[in-house]
Amino acid sequence: MQGKSLGMDHKELYIGVMSGTSMDGVDTALVSIEDDSITLLAHDEFPMPDDLKARLLEVCIGQKTDLIAIGELDHQLGHLFADAVLQLLNKSDTPASSVTAIGNHGQTVFHQPTGDSPFTMQLGDANIIAAKTQIQTVADFRRKDMALGGQGAPLVPAFHHTIFHPKDSSVVVLNIGGISNISVLRPNQPTFGYDTGPGNMLMDAWADKHIGEKFDRDARFALKGQLNQALLEQLLNEPYLSQMPPKSTGRELFNLPWLEQQLTEFKDLAAEDVQRTLCEYTALTIANEVETYRLGSQAALYVCGGGTRNPLLMKRLSGLLTSWEVESTTSKGVDADYMEAMAFAWLAQRHVHQLPSNLPEVTGASRAASLGVLYRAD
């Protein structure tokens, strides 16, 4: 085994830090990694202050900004991520000196993987994280993949590939964050994956606007409404859905202004009917893709991310994918709320040991590479 020669035949501790497109807080995961096995030892959620979230949202949906605003956000997020790590160390009674490295995703403020000047921008100064925690930090995971012609996303399929092993039927791992992405694992075929479209993002934005809640708890708002077929068909016309992978998307596309544009012909529709239809839209755009990868008699869809807490969404996925076993990843031993944070801990470990961590067949990069940049603590 290649790992042995690199001195990886002992356990090492890593911390993964993830703040996703939902911006609902910072997830941290302390893991132990030995060869290919990864164990979640502790996890925590650190809230994002409302004023910080509001300023980030403005940048994400393409509002005018300036260098000072970006620089200050970068600084404040660096402190936020560092404080999240310090709280995890404290709660789990883990000395900083025992942790090999932190893997920090950063906060995406813009992701533009196509066109003449593709770029992705994640904020959160990793120098601050390394200095404040005294733990070396790996960050900026996406841009090396983009430099090699890839989308820089999604990066989690490579991690899913190491923990879920399909035997004779397809396994699809679905992460429903702000955006939904799938990792397709099939026996004797290369892993691949992409962003299917919206996850919780549109439902969250609509719930925030109409009921003043950060998300539609237990789908109560949606369950009051009726599905509107005409609106659903209008939403399904979004060109992103018919693009061929590799592809990735984000809040730059699926945001409240986009939704309000879609609703111009539906001014009289009750807010709860829109919510119910948005839930169906997320479920259907996922299910349409997943169904095409069914192989074998025991195809399984394992779901992680905040969307697992939406009972209507989970019910609709099961209803649309009748030939699939639909379960949360928690039932398979990987905490559904901390899958992504664990993935960035794994990506940090790959960087520290100079091992490749992207899958070119997923991102479209010209070759495999060890992603991320190391910020030393000393």
Tens digit of each residue's pLDDT (9 = 90 or more) over 53-108? 999 999 988 889 999 999 999 999 999 999 999 999 999 999 999 999 999 999 99
Token pair listed for 123: 């904020």
Eight-state DSSP code of residue 266: G
Average pLDDT score over residue span 186-207: 96
CATH number for the region 2-152+337-375 comes to 3.30.420.40
Average pLDDT score over residue span 305-327: 98
Give me the pLDDT at residue 21, please: 82
Give me the pLDDT at residue 3, please: 43
Give me the pLDDT at residue 24, please: 82
pLDDT classification of 5: cutoffs 50, 70, 90: very low
**One-letter amino acid of 275:** Q
Question: What does the mean pLDDT of the chain come to?
Answer: 95
Topology (CATH level 3) of domain 156-332: Nucleotidyltransferase; domain 5 (3.30.420)
Q: What is the pLDDT of residues 236-259, one digit of tens each?
A: 999 999 999 999 999 999 999 999
Residue 70 phi, psi (nearest 5): -65, -45
Residue partners of 274: CB distance under 8 A and separation at least 6? 206, 225, 228, 231, 263, 266
Eight-state DSSP code of residue 219: G
C-beta neighbour count of 353 within 10 angstroms: 17
Residue partners of 45: CB distance under 8 A and separation at least 6? 25, 26, 27, 28, 337
Residue 4, pLDDT > 90, answer: no
- If 0-12 CB within 10 Å is exposed, 13-18 middle and 19+ buried, where does residue 236 land? middle
Per DSSP, the three-state class of 111 is strand
Token pair listed for 282: 């997320």
Q: What is the pLDDT of residues 10-65, one digit of tens each?
A: 899 999 999 988 888 999 999 999 988 999 999 999 999 999 999 999 998 888 99
Q: What is the pLDDT of residues 112-124, one digit of tens each?
A: 999 999 999 999 9
2-152+337-375 and 156-332 have identical folds: yes
- If 0-12 CB within 10 Å is exposed, 13-18 middle and 19+ buried, where does residue 42 land? middle
Q: Report the alpha-carbon distance of residue 197 to residue 269 in Å, rounded.
A: 23
Asked if 203 and 282 count as a contact pair (C-beta separation under 8 A), the reply is yes
**DSSP annotation string for 272-314:** HHHHHHHHHHHHHHHHHHHHTT--SS--EEEEESGGGG-HHHH
Q: What is the pLDDT of residues 204-224, one digit of tens each?
A: 999 999 999 999 999 999 999
Give me the pLDDT at residue 22, please: 81
pLDDT classification of 9: cutoffs 50, 70, 90: low
Residue partners of 30: CB distance under 8 A and separation at least 6? 13, 14, 15, 40, 41, 42, 43, 88, 89, 92, 94, 99, 345
Residue 138, pLDDT > 70, answer: yes
C-beta neighbour count of 265 within 10 angstroms: 10
> Domain spans of the chain?
2-152+337-375, 156-332
Asked if 28 and 41 count as a contact pair (C-beta separation under 8 A), the reply is no
Q: Which residue has the tokens 């970068």?
A: 74
